[in-house]
Structure 1
Amino acid sequence: MLVIVNVSVYHARVTTAPASARARGSRRAEILDAAAALFAARGFHGVSIEDIGGAVGVSGPALYRHFSGKEALLAEMLLDVSERLHASAGRCVTEAPDAEHALDALLNGQIEFALSHPALITVHDRELGNVPEPARRRIRRLQRLYVEEWVTVLSEIYPSCPAARLRAATHAVFGLLNSTPHSAGDLAPELMAGLLRGMARAALAAVVVKER
């Protein structure tokens, strides 16, 4: 699961939405999931609209009822994950009783995402340049805001550490946590989650080590 969701609110939205709207939303999500797997495996330019349609059991042209084209599909895929991660981080920070609990929540959310969506990580790393502007600018802005949520929390835990160092450490930890397309698989998810959490905590603690 990508993001912590208020179940009661989510349930209310689902049960009160028209059946046709729910079906469209479900089919769009199915298409996005299938496209992410294909893009990760074969690259954006190695996948056609027909390939994506075939993966979800519809004709390629039928996908144009949901997306204007392959670039629009990629843009929505990466915008969606960026928006959800940013929104989740905001909740982690505002709902936690203190910075340590906020950091735990941020780590848990990012680890859960990394273990559940390795294809999205691969697609983002490799295919962001194929997203049209201005969607690419929006994605990058959301990512910067997401990083700053982490930096805000870390600055409370390590108040003497410069923001630039905390920001660099955050990016380094993302690299560690988002290694799951390569590192996950040999361990059960709960064991991998524990390993990633411990390694991330150790890496973040290194920000207070004095430079030589």
Structure 2
Amino acid sequence: MSVEQRARGTAVGVTGTGRRRSRRDEILEIAVGLFASRGYHGVSMDDIGAAAGVTGPALYHHFAGKEAMMVAALVPVSEGLLDGGRARAAGHPDDPRGTLESLIDFHVEFALANPAVIALHLHELDRLPDEPRRRIRRLQRLYVEEWVTVLTALHPGQPAGEARVLAHAAFGLMNSTPFLGGEVDRRRRAALLRAATLAALLAETAA
């Protein structure tokens, strides 16, 4: 199953809001899947319109162009990750192990629900104009620092720079979902990703 196919039926975002998906949401999801599977330059607005069953004028009613679609996909995701990370850190103020497990659960669920968004971010972020790209990078740095705070609490005396190395390594593991096949069911994939990430981050305790 391709990244584009896995993107169908999943929301572009971090957490569900319970609201009914709009036509704009559906078009954005289709665009993200196409960008992720074919590359930004391999997809035209006509391709997106054809896949979504939308004519040119109707498509431009929702989005000014491909750049606008990229911004609409990636900025809210980065905001949602930061908000979610902060909420989970606040939920376990005196329990760094519990906070770490909560953060891992949160990120694994995001990664499994949004493989196309992850692929888009990995390969196409530099297509964005300077302002939204800088905004996304800043949100990402702040999200990383939530993990760094937890890891330095778990590993007293560990330099923050080393904790960032561990955090980015953990993201690499959890964000592998665009490259995973469908031979393992979703629940088992989630369990494997959680266990592997937790083991990798706790191993430093004994080092």
Residue 186 of structure 2 corresponds to residue 204 of structure 1: no
Counterpart contact for 1:75–1:131, Cα < 8 Å? yes
Aligned-residue offset at 1:3: 3.5
Aligned to 1:35: 31
Query: Counterpart in 1 of 2:74?
Result: 78
Name the counterpart of 1:170: 167
Letter in 1 for 2:195: G
Structure 2 match to 1:89: 85
Q: How does 1:169-188 map to 2 (within 5 A)?
A: 169-188=166-185
Q: Aligned runs of 1:75-154 on 2, under 5 Å?
A: 75-97=71-93, 98-154=95-151
In structure 2, what is the equivalent of residue 17 of structure 1? none
CA RMSD of aligned residues (A): 1.8
1:57 and 2:57 are equivalent in the alignment: no
Give the aligned residue type for 1:168: V
Compared CA separation, residues 4 and 93, structure 1 to 2 (3 A)? farther
Measured against aligned partners, the alpha-carbon deviations of 1:41-91 in whole angstroms (never above 9, x if no partner) come to 111011111111222221133222122111111112111111111111111
Measured in 2, the distance between the counterparts of 1:184 and 1:195 equals 14
Offset, 1:202: 1.5
Give the TM-score taking structure 2 as reference length: 0.87
CA apart distance, 1:209: 5.4
Identify the range of structure 1 (142-151 vs 177-186) with the bigger mean alpha-carbon deviation. Answer: 177-186
Runs of 4+ in 1 over 6 A off after TM superposition: none
Change in 2 beyond 3 A, CA 1:184/1:157: farther
Could you list the runs of 5+ residues in structure 1 that have no partner in the other structure? 15-21
Q: Is the 8 A contact 1:108 1:197 kept in 2?
A: yes
C-alpha distance in 2, partners of 1:209/1:68?
Answer: 53
Amino acid at match of 1:99: P
- Normalization by structure 1: what TM-score? 0.85
- In the alignment, residue 112 of structure 1 is paired with which amino acid? E
Residues 100 and 157, structure 1, Cα contact 8 Å, conserved in 2 = yes
